[in-house]
Structure 1
Amino acid sequence: MTVPDTFPAMSIAQANALLTASGSLLEMETVTIRGRPTRTWKHAPPTLRDVFLAGRAHGDKVFLVLEEERVTFEGFARAALRLAAQLIADGVQKGDRVAIVMRNLPEWPVAFFGATLTGAIVTPLNAWWTGAELEYGLSDSGTKVVICDNERLARLASHLPDLPELQRIYVTRATEEPQGDPREVWLESIIGRPNSWGSIADRALPDIDLAPEDDATIFYTSGTTGRPKGALGTHRNIVSNIMASGFAATRAYLRRGVAPPVPDPQAAQKATLLSVPFFHATGCHAVLTPSLFGGAKLVLMRKWDVLEAMALIEKERVTGCGGVPTIAWQIIEHPERARFDLSSLETVSYGGAPSAPELVRQIKKVFPKAMPGNGWGMTETSATFTSHVGEDYELRPESCGPACAVCDLQVRDPDGNVLPPGTVGELYGFGPNVVKGYWNKPEATAATFIDGWVRTGDLARVDEEGFCFIIDRAKDMLIRGGENIYCVEVENALYEHPAIMDAALVGRPHRTLGEEPVAFVTLKAGMSANEDELRSFVAARLAAFKVPVAVTFSHEPLVRNANGKILKTELKKLMGV
């Protein structure tokens, strides 16, 4: 792609056409996927194995940082190959499920790519889930091997007898080698500790045939039935994010009438402060995979702390941070921000939760050199589907941006008819990043995936130029700091309490988290319960982020419509929403 230094600002269509033209790095081609012609990135790495090999080529550059642990790309590669060899020795074959259940540790990417190189379907589970929720994920997926940290093992311990299909449990960060279940093995006995990975003896790449449409991952996403569903993703689904991230940044230059900068091999290494979990599609597909491929450093934190985050940005010369709007707000508003050198930041981007239009203005004010960014995607779209960066985001802060060049958006009415631009309806998406369906759930798959299009459950409008505006969620769900909370799941937990007659969960706006869950309940006659009791009751059954922050008691049954459905719009009015 050759363009003059400056030129008239381009439309979205013009920029897309130039960036994806024949011969360009971002060139598109049409391939048939599951019987449907689909635009794809012609020069994307075909599989995650190719991503792994590209990452290893970055050699002695630092890839992973956690406190005093520093892992190079070569050290990561050797540990992943060593683990892959062990998994194959354990009997793991192509298509077997290998689960990862741990917080963000250097071992997480090693587990992910080590299992991927065997041809296994990697199944990351939410590390915030309770033991019962983890048991469901392991059982539903038919996991053969689980790789977990010691904290998650403690949560799973009482559930292991009910998981007979689980053949091996690798445990990391334990103070001593596991002595309990005979299936347990200390992961460090296989790969050692992170700072020693560079000295692991080299091993050959497993001779496993992998193709773009092979099954690669199962990421669980909660459904309105209250039972999580496993979204079955392919290699192509995931690697599409690599090209999408570069495409959005380059398009921003063309939109303002400026030639994109020529890549400088001598430029300082890009670095991301990772504040979202690897077990989310965003953390794995939109951050981990492109970072490995492009040679960027990932700086991990044991838990989010805004002071520690600012210190790490300064120390590691972090160029990108964000994750969810909460992160950006906390940095911007912290009274001690000025004592840290945050000048290395080039992007402050986020997604996964509603964000106030004021946030983009504050980012530009506080970090004038940083490009604000937002976007939309879901587990079923393997993370990135729309991207919104730079001036486009500043001018349309309520939008989540236009679709990636290889993707299509449609807004449809309840009968499935496509609506004209500017009309509100249900959002549908199509592209090479849309997953195959839900693991072992044919009815749910048929209801959500229509001729290759995914029904998002979001109410939206798309303007004439292709910018998408999410209006509301058709599904009964709220998003708290990037975490999906399906209301029926929490309501069902409340209904298990013997004193509950009526229960409803609604979202209350929160400036930094986007939303927070609030419960409305009516007690049975003659029964009693208080707010702390009910919150503790839910906490014993569900992950902490799903627990209502407040419980409002009603002396009358909750208001319903003629069909008996609780009118949550009326409940929101009681909160002034």
Structure 2
Amino acid sequence: MSNIYGPGGTLPPIPDDLTIAQFILDAAHVSRPQVVTSCLIDDSTGRKTKMDEVCVRIRTRALAQSLQTHWDIVNVLEILFLECCLADYPVAVWAVHLLGGIVTAANPAYTTGELEHQLVTTEAKLMIVHPASYAVALRAASTAGLPMERIILIDSLKDANSRPHHIVQELITEGYQHHSILVESRFRPGEGRTRLAFLSFSSGTTGKAKAVCIPHYATIAAVIQLAHLVNSQPRSSDERKIRPGDVWLAHIYGLVVMMHFAFFYGGALIVVPRFNFVEMLKSIERYRVNVLPVVPPQVVLLCKHSDVKNYDLRSIRLLISGAAPLSAELITQLSQILPSASIGQGYGMTEVVGSIAFPQMEQKIGTPGSAGRLVPGMIARVVRPDGTIAKIGEPGHLLISGPATALGYLKNEEATKETFVDGWVHTGDEVIINEQSEIFILDRIKELLKVKGYQVAPAELEGHLLDHPDVADICVVGLQDDYSGELPLAFVVPSTKATERIKRDPAEAERVRAILMKHVADAKVHYKRLAGGVEFVESIPKNPSGKLLRRVLRERAREMQKQGKLSSKPRAKL
């Protein structure tokens, strides 16, 4: 069979005439529980913002009114958020969507150059910033030509002499007086399929990250897919792993699973401003967390951190691991730490918006090695290298189709044609899919690294390092690591001058390594640093057309790691 369908039957209707905010805050839908108790809970204060009181809905409309009044937001205005896990973050996102604006979220750890790239690419007209990221945001805005008065702060700056900016809470208070006259964006039937809601950046295999164009319809579809998956389980609602009223710890998987699906399905979201493992344990115990989304580095901490035994984690009913594969050995260890919890893996990518696969709801422990089962509404193909369709259980390149797919890459026609082909998203992952529609990821055809759940494009680091005078040629590969998943390791051919210096003084080799690692650390976000180290080689293996034979060096790195022959000790830390 050429196509493999996510089980669960036909999806309920997916509205294509609503903004995401209208769907989440106002729309009745057959997939939604009848009793919805959604709320946002500030982890540090315990303050609840409920949907139905002086609440998320009213705060969203009040902020939208102020944004409309001050900046006349209309359909195509892009707003950049420096991501922050605060209770008003969803409020701010949905306020923009009510007005038909587009949101592009940036990692708060970005350097000035990385943030400037996103500002310029998206042509953002406003920026909403957490005070902790203010200095970087101000420099990036200045370089990108964004006026200072178009920077909005999530909270006040501590410096009394700082420049004046609008504050989100002040805008909400101001909007309370006028939100009844708010003019919301209204879509015509079908318009939600093409009107953009998000420009989410995803690392490609070449150059800098690309902006993925995500329409309102795709995000709504992703929410309905997950709700339909939960609702289609044969057990009663009290026996399901995900239930209305569940407490979720909201610190990752922010776009669809947490901020939209969990809220839509009646969850209480514990909003954590900054990840700290011990504080996470305290929050689980304090709020009796039921659903815990994690990434493999956090699983390692749950298995190995000495403080775990000091906290009561028995409230956890479901632990979902995603962003990178989780080994069967770690799952076994984790099941001993959390014996009452169901444990499973999920799999997704920005270009497919939501989840491609989700943990098997009928299993206490997901099938070892599986990245989950195809969600309802997803259609998969596995393609052999010669372009023919693979059989069930046979490896090949995974192609995905379904309602929750992006439209392409912003201002990048070549990359769009490469990834989005005739209604299919080419994931770049080599997989096997079995008779139960479970996905097993074998390798990354696109060669992206996954560091602590983040995508890292080797070509981006290679391009940066080639600018250094001590580098003649380079290839970056991933070094396997239990905590981080992978660590960037650079195989470097030193320049002629650097080689001469090393020959004169062998100690110079270590100095050059340190210089190159600092060269990356000074310009790139923390997870892109060369934590795997630098290895000097005489040449980089390439095929006749000049393409890097990255797999050759990846295998060499694994062998060197196994034999303890790496020049630098990998720098991942618990």
Query: Shorter-chain TM-score: which interval?
Result: 0.7 to 0.9
Partner of residue 155 from structure 1, selected from 132, 136, 145 = 136
Following the alignment from structure 1 to structure 2, what is the Cα–Cα distance between the partners of residues 216 and 43?
Answer: 13
* Aligned residue type for 1:558: I
* Aligned residue type for 1:28: L
Q: Where do residues 316-395 of structure 1 align in structure 2 (5 Å cutoff)?
A: 316-390=287-361, 392=363, 394=365
Q: 1:262 deviation in Å? A: 5.3
Change in 2 beyond 3 A, CA 1:391/1:511 = farther
Change in 2 beyond 3 A, CA 1:304/1:160 = closer
Q: Where do residues 196-207 of structure 1 align in structure 2 (5 Å cutoff)?
A: 203-204=179-180, 206-207=183-184
Q: 1:376 deviation in Å? A: 1.0
User: Which position in structure 1 is the counterpart of 2:505?
Assistant: none
User: Which position in structure 2 is the counterpart of 1:520?
Assistant: 491
Following the alignment from structure 1 to structure 2, what is the Cα–Cα distance between the partners of residues 412 and 158?
Answer: 46
Change in 2 beyond 3 A, CA 1:465/1:172 = closer
Contact 1:60 1:72 in 2 (8 A): no
User: Which position in structure 2 is the counterpart of 1:543?
Assistant: 525
Change in 2 beyond 3 A, CA 1:421/1:243 = same
Q: 1:116 deviation in Å? A: 0.9
Contact 2:321 2:346 in 1 (8 A): yes
Change in 2 beyond 3 A, CA 1:201/1:311 = farther
Following the alignment from structure 1 to structure 2, what is the Cα–Cα distance between the partners of residues 46 and 174?
Answer: 30
Contact 1:510 1:516 in 2 (8 A): yes
* Aligned residue type for 1:87: L
Change in 2 beyond 3 A, CA 1:44/1:461 = farther
Contact 2:222 2:355 in 1 (8 A): yes
TM-score (normalizing by structure 1): 0.84
* Aligned residue type for 1:110: V
Contact 2:6 2:375 in 1 (8 A): no
1:68 aligns with 2:45: yes
**For each residue in 1:422-452, what CA deviation from the matched residue of structure 2 results, as whole angstroms up to 9, or x when unmatched?**
2222111000001111122222212211111
Following the alignment from structure 2 to structure 1, what is the Cα–Cα distance between the partners of residues 157 and 330?
Answer: 43
Q: 1:477 deviation in Å? A: 0.9
Following the alignment from structure 2 to structure 1, what is the Cα–Cα distance between the partners of residues 6 and 491?
Answer: 49
Change in 2 beyond 3 A, CA 1:478/1:575 = same
Q: 1:395 deviation in Å? A: 5.8
Following the alignment from structure 2 to structure 1, what is the Cα–Cα distance between the partners of residues 412 and 160?
Answer: 35
User: Which position in structure 1 is the counterpart of 2:514?
Assistant: 532
Contact 1:412 1:425 in 2 (8 A): yes
1:217 aligns with 2:189: no
Percent of aligned positions with the same letter in both sequences? 24
Q: Where do residues 248-263 of structure 1 align in structure 2 (5 Å cutoff)?
A: 248-249=229-230, 254=234, 259-261=235-237
SS in 1 for 2:426: strand
User: Which position in structure 1 is the counterpart of 2:98?
Assistant: 117
Contact 1:81 1:203 in 2 (8 A): yes
Q: Which runs of no fewer than 5 residues in structure 2 stay unpaired?
A: 29-33, 502-510, 560-574
Change in 2 beyond 3 A, CA 1:43/1:141 = closer
The range that moved more, 449-458 or 410-419, is 410-419
Q: Where do residues 402-421 of structure 1 align in structure 2 (5 Å cutoff)?
A: 402-414=373-385, 416-421=387-392
Partner of residue 249 from structure 2, selected from 248, 273, 276 = 273
- Runs of 4+ residues over 4 Å off in structure 1: 40-46, 57-62, 176-182, 199-202, 390-393
SS in 2 for 1:548: coil
* Aligned residue type for 2:90: P
Structure 1 or 2: larger strand share? 1
User: Which position in structure 1 is the counterpart of 2:214?
Assistant: 233
User: Which position in structure 2 is the counterpart of 1:134?
Assistant: 115
Following the alignment from structure 1 to structure 2, what is the Cα–Cα distance between the partners of residues 59 and 404?
Answer: 23
SS in 2 for 1:518: strand
User: Which position in structure 1 is the counterpart of 2:571?
Assistant: none
Contact 2:5 2:378 in 1 (8 A): no
Q: 1:82 deviation in Å? A: 1.8
**For each residue in 1:144-176, what CA deviation from the matched residue of structure 2 results, as whole angstroms up to 9, or x when unmatched?**
111111232210222323333667210233325
Change in 2 beyond 3 A, CA 1:263/1:392 = closer
User: Which position in structure 1 is the counterpart of 2:263?
Assistant: 292
1:85 aligns with 2:69: no
SS in 2 for 1:212: helix
* Aligned residue type for 2:274: K
**For each residue in 1:466-486, what CA deviation from the matched residue of structure 2 results, as whole angstroms up to 9, or x when unmatched?**
222211111121101110011
The range that moved more, 444-453 or 327-336, is 327-336
SS in 1 for 2:558: coil
**For each residue in 1:41-79, what CA deviation from the matched residue of structure 2 results, as whole angstroms up to 9, or x when unmatched?**
589987431202369x98986423230151312433332
Following the alignment from structure 2 to structure 1, what is the Cα–Cα distance between the partners of residues 46 and 146?
Answer: 34
Change in 2 beyond 3 A, CA 1:312/1:242 = same
